[in-house]
Amino acid sequence: MPAPTVVIGVDSSTQSAKAVLVDTATGRTLATGRAAHRVSGEAGARESDPEEWWRALREAVAEGLGRSGVPAASVAGIAVAGQQHGLVTLDGSGRPLRPALLWNDTRSAPQAAALGEALGGPRAWAELTGSAPVAAVTAAKWQWLREHEPRTAAATAAVRLPHDFLTERLSGVPVTDPGDASGTGWYATATGAYDPGILDLLGLDRALLPEVAPGGAARAGGLLAPAAAELGLPSGIAVAAGTGDNMAAAVGLGLGGAGLLDRPVLSLGTSGTVFAATRSRPVSPALSGFAATDGVYLPLGCTLNCTRAVDKVAALLGLDRERAEPGGETVLLPFLDGERTPDLPAASGLLTGLRHTTSREQILGAAYEGATVAVLRALDEVLRACGLDPTEPATAAGTLRLVGGGARGRQWVETVRRLSGRPVLVPREPELVAVGAAALAAGAATGEDPVRLAAAWGTGDGTELPAVARDTETWERVSEALERARAGFPR
């Protein structure tokens, strides 16, 4: 039997790299490799050495190849999906000048606020770029660098996003895609190009930026011989332009122009993320109005504090994460790293409603509830951006796709069901970002539409759980606490 034609999809996330090897004919995952990398920083700082991403990518691909048992000669393409927003500054030889500033580095909050007041204010930014500046966006991080490390900014010969950096190492081509570019703050979804006025405001030379490919499945180039030697792959195979992690997850779910539209997704990971692929260009300052990677749009809401924050609370209480009970009167807002939605970068965790009778399990349950209500409130904004009424689940594309590491946890799933009142679909495929990247690699190798490919593979299929009665009492109690927090914490 001949070896299958294989593509490799890489998910270079905040804390690790995962590489999946996928049979292009069937969509079957043949093997997965993993390798961790480090995040450092305190008091709002979050940084990683981009060279560690490259090392982790190499190790993950090598492990995946070893486990798959397929010959390297059967690999036809590779694509990277990366954590969004990170600022990578390179010297003239393509080497990092400093550790990358990551998406969850909140030191740039003052710069984001100042940018938000420029060019007509947050609404004007949203109308032009799709998003109002927050600490996460790359533009705010570049401004922070200019103010705090001007020599590094002046020495910068190239500015890249995390996935761009890795794609360039693979192909030698400085390229990005509309999806990841739309998270920079200097790419305008209104025009489909970098905005000259914003670049002038930032003192950023257009020549430092990569070209924007038509989509993540566009062929950036062939795999360079040095990279091929390090990876143990054939040189010259297709390297796709790639995209950001959220855009790749949408592809893996079969969401986009050639697939399903206006279907809400909730991703439970280090951050809590909600998004949907839609033809309507989002212009709400309350959202990140991203482009998707295939010509449509991806309105997205993101909370910084999700599974990592709840795990921290569980550890402080000495409990297994599954040993939670409904919080009752207790409300816990787990703003352990500041917050992005709502935009409160200086916020800290809040615990209220304690009684002598309050148990550890209820406090942990309250952490689940606080994180879940925050991200579900962002979902309402996403649905509005799609032209849907969030108060009418039957007409708001009802079923909620639940992905990310938290989707494998019983407490997360049941808390989302209880507080959303929606049917929940948990896809069987656990590595949707990497599989979405694999579909992009297949698109680059074959010319096929990656969303249509992923839909045919069935990687978005899974187990559907029926709706349960919504816990409106808890919803209203936590929402009230969130509104008080927005009024009490400085932005």
Start-to-end Cα distance in the chain = 62
b or e along 362-399 (b: 16 or more beta carbons within 10 Å of the residue's beta carbon)?
bbbbbbbbbbbbbbbbbbbbbbbbbebebeebeebbeb
Of 245, 294, 343, 449, the active-site residue reads 245
- Cβ burial of 472 (10 Å; 0-12, 13-18, 19+) is exposed
Rounded distance between C-alpha atoms, residue 439 and residue 277, angstroms: 17
Nearby residues of 59 by Cβ (< 8 Å), 6 or more positions away: 17, 33, 35
Rounded distance between C-alpha atoms, residue 305 and residue 271, angstroms: 5
Nearby residues of 179 by Cβ (< 8 Å), 6 or more positions away: 216, 243, 244, 246, 247, 290, 291, 292, 293, 298
Give the number of other CB atoms < 10 A from CB of residue 467: 16
Known catalytic membership, residue 245: yes
Catalytic residues: 245
